[in-house]
Amino acid sequence: MIVTSRWVILTHVSGFNDFALVCLALGQTQSRLQMAELAGEYLARLDPRDAEIAARFMVGRPLAQGDEKPLQISGRAIWKIVAAMTGGQDHEDQGEAIFAVATDFGEAIEMVLRLRQSEPEVTLTLAEVERCFGEIASIEGRNSRRRKLDALRELFERASALEGKYLTKILIGEMRHGMSEGLMLEAIARMASRPVAEVRRANMLAGDVGRAVRAMRTTAPASADATGAPASELDADAPAASLTTARADDAPAHPRPLKPMLAQPAQNVAEAFRMLGDRLALEHKLDGARVQIHCTGAGVHIFSRALNDVTASLPEVAEIAGRLGSRRAIFDGEVIAIGADGRPLAFQEVMRRFGRVRDIERLRVERPVRLFVFDLIGLDGELLIDAPYEERYTALSELASAAGLAMAARILPSTVAEGSQFYARAIAEGYEGIVAKALAGPYMPGARGRGWVKIKTARTFDLVIVAADWGYGRRHGWLSNYHLAARDERDGGLVEVGKTFKGLTDDDFRAMTERLLAIKTAEARGTVVVRPEVVVEVAYSDIQRSPRYAGGMALRFARIVGVRNDKSAAEADTIATVAAAFDRQMVKPLGADE
């Protein structure tokens, strides 16, 4: 088998080693066109099932999206396993030296595996690796952690050093070879000799690149969805007009969720008008968990933003949606947690419910939730994704009114001034912002389409950098993940409230690395501790509870927007200020229409 910067000569295309060689070649290829060609030709040589697996692996997804359970395998666990395989504590202690020269964590694992006395024979197949991932994910109950690690150890013992590198990259979701999901769709189009637009639509409806590969390999070219049905309608017997997947035990077909439509950011209402035009709606942006609800003739199924079935975790939501009776529908909505006073709680409070299947009745009392619906993407046997938003909303309003479903506050502004006033009221009431939606826009599953725009007030703190981690991949050689802390006025100490590597350019990373190394006080396991002298302005979306930090809080989606050279650590924001902001977001009221 030979690898150049572009071409790979393969002998056993279904083997995992050949997959690793293709990924290695992708990482050495700069041209987007050549990457799509290389990946497409490789997928075309595989049988449909192996191509389905390879496409998922190539974008760093170990299992099918929406079907997967978390593997709960950390990079630290992988490191301990391979260190024990190749010399135990001696090699584990060499970690800092290895990390100093490795470009990413996967390469560090490869370097450790090359310390073995001999390489195992290359025998792993794509199907075996996927099966092992699935088995690890399914392990639950007593001694589950040990059994997961035992299964992972068996896999790595069979893997070559190169295979171990890419097993690791898939497991931690950091492939770093440039094959994004968008580029994968171009590769699939080349594989199947289909228009890219057709592949994008199949992926929208399938909700997973692997299923999109299978669809392109098993259906004739046409404007068909991922099941082969016409894009605008489905079999009248299909549950809730959803895509379905047959179960192996001949049980009724199970609804298949679509990826949620996403919104682009805008600075203000005026910019939203420029982006969407005058015919738009504005809605309150709720700080909850996105859900997609499929009401079928056989019952209700609730899917998370990640397309996992969370119905068992949210029985009260299923009961609310069940009010539709015989109507079949697919709703897009938001679930929020409600406090004892009836007011919404912060995002992480509702996330405590997701994935929980034990003590549900107790949790219903201790942490009740409420459903808001804001879009209708399927109704009585027909997908509505191509219908304009105003038509979908009209149908949604009628259903919601009949079934008693809650909806977020909404207006149709005729002027920028009217929209800006609505936005100001939303912020004053404690909402994180608003969403603008083009009345004529379609629903675009999985896309950050031009029809939705989110407008949020920038929230910032001035925080102190107290440590930084060495980066991987493009950030290799730079200190680029910064530990952020607020002042504690009581004792003059510093309390960490999060980390971020976002917001800086390459030049900023270089300059910050030099600056931090000059004030370094210690280093261990890839983390450099520094004197608390550098203050940065940090923007964030909201604050969540976090047992990881001593202050019990962490910033979500933090990014550095500037270095405050004019401020000393003594002038940074306090942990009390962070706590006050957290408290304010915890008491925001429901919309005025509630």
The whole-angstrom separation of Cα 489 and Cα 571 is 11
Please report the DSSP string for 186-252 in residue order. Answer: HHHHHHHT--HHHHHHHHHHHSSHHHHHHHHHHS-SSSB-TTSSBTT---TTSGGG-EEE--TT-PP
Catalytic annotation, pick one of 148, 165, 169, 285 = 285
- Among positive and negative, which fits the CA dihedral 111, 474, 40, 169? positive
Name every residue whose Cβ is closer than 8 Å to that of residue 23 and which is 6 or more positions away in sequence: 58, 166, 169, 175, 177, 179
CA distances from 23 to 111, 170, 186 (A): 17, 11, 16
Residue 137's H or E segment, with its range, is: helix 126-138
Contact 10, 18 (CB under 8 A): yes
- Which structure tokens are listed for 275? 């982006």
- Which structure tokens are listed for 429? 């009431």
φ/ψ region of 543 (left if φ > 0, alpha if ψ in -120 to 50, else beta) reads: beta
Whether 285 is a known active-site residue: answer yes
The whole-angstrom separation of Cα 158 and Cα 124 is 7
Backbone angles phi, psi at 543, to 5 degrees: -120, 140
Contact 129, 155 (CB under 8 A): yes
The whole-angstrom separation of Cα 282 and Cα 330 is 22
Pairing of strands 329-337, 243-245: unpaired
Pairing of strands 2-3, 8-9: antiparallel
HSE toward the beta carbon, residue 48, CA cutoff 13 A: 10
The whole-angstrom separation of Cα 509 and Cα 480 is 6
Backbone angles phi, psi at 126, to 5 degrees: -60, -45
Please report the DSSP string for 381-427 in residue order. Answer: TEE-TTS-HHHHHHHHHHHHHHHT-B---EE--SSHHHHHHHHHHHH
The whole-angstrom separation of Cα 494 and Cα 473 is 30
- Which structure tokens are listed for 584? 């304010």
Active-site residue numbers? 285
